[in-house]
Structure 1
Amino acid sequence: MITSDEIENILEGKGIKPTTNRILILRELMKATHPVSLADFEALLGFSMDKASIFRVLELFSEKEVVHVIEDGSRSLKYELCHSGRYHTISDQHVHFYCLKCKETYCFESVSVPLVKIPEGFSPSSINYMIKGICPKCLK
């Protein structure tokens, strides 16, 4: 189990003041086994934090590259930390899979996003590579 001091160090390392709400959300992200939606956070945190506060923390985490935002086509943004390190960076993008049956989003950390040559003068800040289909659990 990661300590509050370790979480505070991670936040401070990204230039984020470690408030109680930020520590709670980062702790839940670190425990997550798959990308988490705003509704998931509401359920995980219960009555300890309102939806607007959760959203503000997630937006800050996205701006500071602590998390990246995944658009999986479910009309609900998902948030994810990189499990290969303590937090996500823009350069650490990987493939995701969205199951059309169970609506679960899976993270394929070992599968890098393919290199795409874009025209000169463009500077990408994020990449969203989503594969959609049926997961092994739902195929059974």
Structure 2
Amino acid sequence: MNRRNTPTKEAVLNLLSNSKKALSQDAIEKQLDIKINRATIYRVLNRFCEDDMVHRIVAEDGKQYFAICKKCEKPEDVQYHFHFRCLSCDTIECLQVPVNYAVPNGYRVQGANCVLTGTCSDCSQVVG
């Protein structure tokens, strides 16, 4: 669906496009160069999710993060891949390799929202 482009949408999309990690609404609000109210940011993010431009990641604590998956080739890839949250640096990123899982016979998976937690490769090298 074609939607009207606005400076707000452009600013949020630009910020997400240039970010290497998923961002919360609070982080987006703090990093924007222009003043935009919280409700408008949520509305823009929800529209981006509806249009499969951005995907929503719900972390284990219930906080929502938003990202543009640079490796997703098909719209359905945006919604159905796993994410990793580093407990050391608090970064959330899309996992670029498939995560294998199994469900009991008779079950059909239609979607997945999974955030694995631990230490990312950057933080593991610092600790290691």
Shorter-chain TM-score range: 0.7 to 0.9
The offset of 1:19, in angstroms, is: 1.4
What amino acid is aligned across from residue 63 of structure 1 in structure 2?
A: E
TM-score normalised by structure 2 residue count: 0.78
Gaps of 5+ in 2: none
| CA distance, structure 2, for counterparts of residue 78 and residue 130 of structure 1 | 11
> Match for residue 93 of structure 2?
106
- 3-state SS in 2 of match to 1:32: coil
What amino acid is aligned across from residue 54 of structure 1 in structure 2?
A: I
Map of 1:2-81 to 2, 5 A cutoff?
14-81=1-68
| Aligned residue among 112, 116, 125 for 1:127 | 112
* C-alpha contact (below 8 Å) 2:22/2:93 kept by paired residues: yes
| CA distance, structure 1, for counterparts of residue 61 and residue 69 of structure 2 | 21
| CA distance, structure 2, for counterparts of residue 81 and residue 112 of structure 1 | 18
* C-alpha contact (below 8 Å) 2:69/2:94 kept by paired residues: no
The offset of 1:71, in angstroms, is: 1.1
The offset of 1:91, in angstroms, is: 3.0
- 3-state SS in 1 of match to 2:8: helix
In the superposition, relative to structure 1, how do residues 105 and 38 fare at CA in structure 2: closer, same or farther (>3 Å)? Answer: same
Percent identity between matched residues is 24
Number of residue pairs matched?
Answer: 123
| CA distance, structure 2, for counterparts of residue 74 and residue 123 of structure 1 | 23
Query: Runs ≥4 in structure 1, deviation > 4 angstroms?
Result: 115-120
Which deviates further from its counterpart, 23-32 or 98-107? 98-107
| CA distance, structure 1, for counterparts of residue 99 and residue 119 of structure 2 | 20
Gaps of 5+ in 1: 1-13
TM-score normalised by structure 1 residue count: 0.72
The offset of 1:34, in angstroms, is: 0.5
| CA distance, structure 1, for counterparts of residue 115 and residue 8 of structure 2 | 30
